[in-house]
Structure formats: C-alpha cells, structure tokens
Structure 1
C-alpha cells in the first residue's frame, strides 16, 4: 500500500439519535471506527448541537487563570503586564472567537480578568482601576 493509512484509533463517526443501534454496529464493524456523541472538540473548536452555552468557553477562562496566577508571582511593571496581555492573553481566544461568537457576558468576564491582572489585583486586595 502506498501513501498514508487511516488510524482507526483516532478516527470516529457521529450519527443522529434517530439512527438505530443495528446500523451503528454495522458501521463500526465495517469501518472499524468508534461512534462518539456530541459535543466534541475538533481542531480546538467545540462542535455541538443546539444552543451555544457558556460552558463552551470555560476552557479559555481556565487557561487565562493559570497564566495569570503564574505571572502574578513575578514582579512585573505595568509595561510588562501590558506586553503579556497584548501578546499572550489576547491571542488565546482569537481562533475560537472567529468560529463561535461569544456572548456579551463572556467578553465582560474576560475583560474583568485582564483588568484585574493589569491593575495588580491579588487575593481580595483592593485595587483602583485607573483610566487613561
């Protein structure tokens, strides 16, 4: 055989809920693929059926939180924090935001996380958000 082979361990298929189990088992037997259910993640983007829910974006909040916690242990100037926000934090959600348009509460929550990091909010300490 010449060329690439299909990796059956990494391949799968999705069927509607209305397809009977006999047909699903036949597809499994013929193709050798597993049947999976939605939601799934494909190339970093969630694929789901139905309304867009806020849980889809929870992974972005987790990534943001991990990075911010690691950076808060360092003594960073405002300029250093601004560079990290512009170069790292703003690039994380770009792809998923192009494929799934986030709701306004999601954007506000991300903005609050970025603002708190920029202005030096740590462990329930008070912080003034200066405007410039």
Structure 2
C-alpha cells in the first residue's frame, strides 16, 4: 500500500479501490483474506480475471483461459 500511495502522490492519479481486486489461492486462511481486504480496500476475485484482454490466473495454464482472446484475434484476422 505504501508503493501505491507513492504512485498516487507522484502521478496525481488515484487508485480506484472499487475497480481493484486481488487474487489469492483458494486454500488461503480466511483471516488472511480479511486482513488483505481491510488493508487494501480491494475485493477478492476468483481466477481467472482479464486485464487488458489477457487472462490472469493462479496455478497452471489452461487453454480455456485463452479461448476468448484467440477468438477475438481470429475475428480480427478474418474481418
């Protein structure tokens, strides 16, 4: 949070906590999840999430995570 605070003060841009999320493994203790939410103000999201059109996930790669990206690129090539 210190780094994000420094970013905000340096850039003049504020972090939108309503649009910000964190991902952690499913076997993480509930008290740790609660602490992260309390400290950051971010909400927990399940894997995978998409950032700039690319999937972000925890664990090993799965082809299904990339299907939307491949489909989008295929449509652009065919179009």
Q: CA RMSD in A?
A: 2.7
Describe the shift of the 1:55–1:24 C-alpha distance in structure 2 as closer, same or farther (beyond 3 A).
Answer: closer
Partner residue of 1:50? 60
* Contact 2:48/2:65 (8 A) holds in 1: no
Counterpart of 1:12 in structure 2 is 21
Q: Which runs of 5+ in 1 are unaligned?
A: 65-88, 91-113, 118-132
Secondary structure of 1:46's aligned partner? strand
Moved over 3 A (4+): none
2:44 corresponds to which of 35, 41, 49:
35
**Taking structure 2 as the reference length, what is the TM-score of the superposition?**
0.64
TM-score (norm 1): 0.42
**How has the CA–CA distance of structure 1 residues 54 and 12 changed in structure 2, closer, same or farther, with 3 Å as cutoff?**
closer
Structure having the larger proportion of residues in strand: 2
Residue 53 of structure 1, CA deviation = 2.1
Larger radius of gyration: 1
> Partner of 2:14: helix, strand, or coil?
coil
TM superposition shift of 1:29: 1.2
Unaligned runs of 5+ in 2: 1-7
